[in-house]
Every structure is written in structure tokens, then in C-alpha cells.
Amino acid sequence: MKRKVLWFPFIAICLSIQPAISQNIPPSNRYKAQQSSEVRMIPIAETKLIMEGIIHNNFRALEKTLRGKPNGEEAWLIIRGQALLIAESGNLLLLRPPKNEGKASWYNQSLVLRNTAKLIGEYASDRKLIEVRDQFAKLSNVCNSCHQKFQVKESIHIFGEESPRKE
């Protein structure tokens, strides 16, 4: 019985110092946090995937909602969310400039896309339908301008002006 009692304090002491010891062990290189100067954004998805999967889908959903008058808090939250997803896509596009000429134009177009979509989100937060629609029209112009510059054979038309077409 005495032997069991002597082991208990020893085990309790070992268990109590184990967390302190493990905190002093440096993490493996695989999990080390990089210094902020070493962090580098790298593109993963193709530009076409971002355009079709994020921007185009959210753009068309916004158009559908903005054809009528958004009704209720949920509709405005959805408009804001879709606009901000498009805005974030502008950030993603900044990571993917063309490998040939046109980088300056690409950066400019990506920034205008981001800022225009961000404004839509801000106006949606304030439920300013006229401003949201105005910025949405500007957003389609931004898309078309970029598509023309980079010879993308798709035109964006909104609210029944003309159906979207691939040339």
C-alpha cells in the first residue's frame, strides 16, 4: 500500500509539469508561422474559374434580385453579400495579371471592379436602391471594358438590354 501512495505524488508532479515542458518545444518547420514579410499570396484557381464561378454567378443573381424591388432585410443582405463576393474577386484577380503586356490595365480594371462592387455592398447596407442599380450598371461596363481590352468574347448586358452572348 505504501508503494502505491509514493507513486501517486510522483505521477501528479510529472503530469503537472508536462504541459510546461511541451510549450517550450519549438513547432516543427511544417507548422511554423511565417513572418509577415515572408507571407506571399499565390494564385490557386484559374482566372476563368473565378470569373465564371464567383463573379458571373453572383452578378447574374444580383441582376435577378435587382430587376424588382428588394423586399425585406434578407434580400438586402443577399445583395450586399453577392456584391462583396464580387469585390473580393477583384482582389483575387490582382494576383493573376497577364503574363504578357497589359499588367497595368489589368490591375486598374481589377481595382475598379473591386471598388464598384464594394460600393454596391455599401449602398445595399443603406438600402439605397437607385445607387445600387447605378453602380450595378457601372459594374457591367467595367466587365465589358476589361473583356474588350483582353479580347474575351463575352459581353455583359443587364436588365434585358440584350441577352448576354458569346461572340
> In 3-state terms, what secondary structure has residue 117?
helix
Cell 437607385: give the residue.
130
In this predicted model, what pLDDT tens digit does every residue of 67-98 receive, in sequence order?
999 999 999 999 999 999 999 999 999 999 98
Q: What pTM was estimated for this model as a whole?
A: 0.73
Residue-wise pLDDT for 98-112, tens only, equals: 888 899 999 999 999
Q: Would you say 110 and 132 are in contact if contact means Cβ atoms under 8 Å apart?
A: no
Residue 21 lies in a domain: no
109 Cβ neighbours under 8 A, 6+ residues apart: 93, 142, 145, 146, 149
When pLDDT is cut at 50, 70 and 90, the band that residue 8 belongs to is low
Structural domain contains residue 30 = no
- Domain assignment present for 15: no
> Is 80 part of any domain?
yes
pLDDT per position as a tens digit, 112-145: 999 999 999 999 999 999 999 999 999 999 999 9
Domain of 58, in residue numbers:
47-166
> Has residue 23 been placed in a domain?
no
Decide if 127 is inside a domain: yes
In a domain, 148, yes or no: yes
In a domain, residue 9? The reply is no
**CA atoms of 57 and 54, how far apart (whole Å):** 6
The CATH number of the domain holding residue 150 is 1.20.120
Number of folded domains that form the chain: 1
